[in-house]
Structure 1
Amino acid sequence: MITRADVDEARARIEGRVRRTPLIAVDPGAFGGQTWMKLEFLQHTGSFKARGAFNRILEAQANGDLDPAVGTVAASGGNAGLAHAYAGAQLGVPVTVFVPTITSPVKLAKLQALGANVIQAGHEYAGAYEAARIHAEGTGALFCHAYDQAPIAAGAGTLGLEILEDLDGQVDTVVIAVGGGGLLAGVAAAVEGTARVVGVEPTGAPTLAEALRVGSPVDVPVSGVAADSLGARRIGDIALDVALRTGARSLLVSDDDLIHARRLLWDHRRIAVEHGAAAALAALTSGGYVPEPGERVVVVLCGANTDPSDLVG
């Protein structure tokens, strides 16, 4: 479980380590309400994951839970690994990252450039996760979960505090892409009592939708254009706990919706994001989420580690 207090502590801990990313207004009336986009893809390493990575490592260092000679290990489709590699490099901590074979060449090259020890294992995130757990048990490395650890989720939630401050608390809804749910958990905890959260998932990986339907995390098959970043097989326990506590809901979008939203961002704003990061906007552009008149909505664009070749030309 995480609360607003955990997010506040995370913010104090990572202050000066991460960027405060911009919040920009969308053309009035574009989606029926007042809409802003949180440009979190401008964060270090191109995604929100840097927030949780710094929080996890710094908290472990403070508590004496990190052996600096052994370092950390993470399993990641790319973005969490990039974040941990960057945080480790900044803090002088060695990092090993296990990635699935579907990880994009762009992310692999960036991981290696940051100095991480990169090992491919399994076709999907689940295979990389199991290999990372075995590595942690065998070496004593600090295991850094991609999404289902309190420090990771609380760190991610710090962007929610920025949203509240930038809008003086005048926000009704925050729309967020969901893979394993760490970002949703952190932001929902940060804005609890002020704004609602809508999680948006690809139809090919409905982890939160299925968990809400049956009342507990369950494995789902993973497929689709966003599988490299929203490819977790099940929602995290922390995310489901926060979603149930705060009333966060799930909304599903198709691959075509993701592709269309991503293309709109490029064509109209020259913003290149991952298909997964386009999920939040796809909820609005597809008509899956229609704001009420005057509703104040923030769409979080959470990752930019993509091959832009299919956007140009």
Structure 2
Amino acid sequence: MALKPGVSEIGFIGIGVMGKSMAKHILDAGYKLHIYTRTQGKAAELISQGAVWHETPAQLAASCDAVITMVGYPKDVEEIYFGEQGLLANAKEGAYLIDMTTSSPLLAKRIDEAAIQQGLHSLDAPVSGGDVGAREGRLSIMVGGSVEDFEAVRPIFELLGTNIVRQGQAGAGQHTKMCNQIAIASNMMGVCEALAYAKASGLDPETVLTSIGTGAAGSWSLSNLAPRIIAGNFEPGFYVKHFIKDMGIALDAAQEMGQDLPGLKLAESLYRRLADLGYAEKGTQALYKLLQP
């Protein structure tokens, strides 16, 4: 499926653990890729393959028909989109701005309102699938925005993921990602506690995983992260520090809606303890370090 006529130059801001693979899929598909990241060295490989480097988000925005942002925190999103040097003030008329950061639903709505005033198109499209999903182009993409804008940029999403669902208007993508993170939070506690229990009882964790991985306890985290725990690999597919950020966003949103999330509160407190022990830069599976016998 081809992009909407006139959409040929795509910008990507944020070349991190997942962003680098996502940007490469766009480059490999033959589109002219423009990139910006605070540390230019992270983009060296993409630049060597033909991507165009820009010194600022504003310069990038002026050259692109669509811009994807995949950064760390809501404050980073706000900084990139707003202000005199932001995307909203410098994007080409009619451009598509796609924020794939896991961020605040309220911020997504603010960006959309500002985009409409500027004659721009905005979508919030956070993803799930970690480093493996990004590398293999198998991300789950949860989208908020108008039907027309979603269909116009669907070909971009199809380069990055296999489960692409429009959830509703602006902010709906971020709310859906919060549902995803809420489910993962309690699941990760269960995965780590199960492996800790297996070790304490003298079982072989790999053999245990063979039995429980395809039964009722099966989950993405059990299949993909439990083997990393068993191998002693706690490097990030998704950072502890970013998971804490996500849980904070979900807890804030829940509070605004008058909803209590006791499981999420417990998970957030455990991950904060884990970060205090020096594991903020490790993957979410490092929670095992806090629970191991």
Shorter-normalised TM range: 0.3 to 0.5
Return the TM-score normalized by structure 2: 0.38
Which structure would you say has the larger RCO, counting Cα contacts within 8 Å and 6 or more residues apart?
1
The structure with the largest alpha-carbon Rg is 2
Return the TM-score normalized by structure 1: 0.36
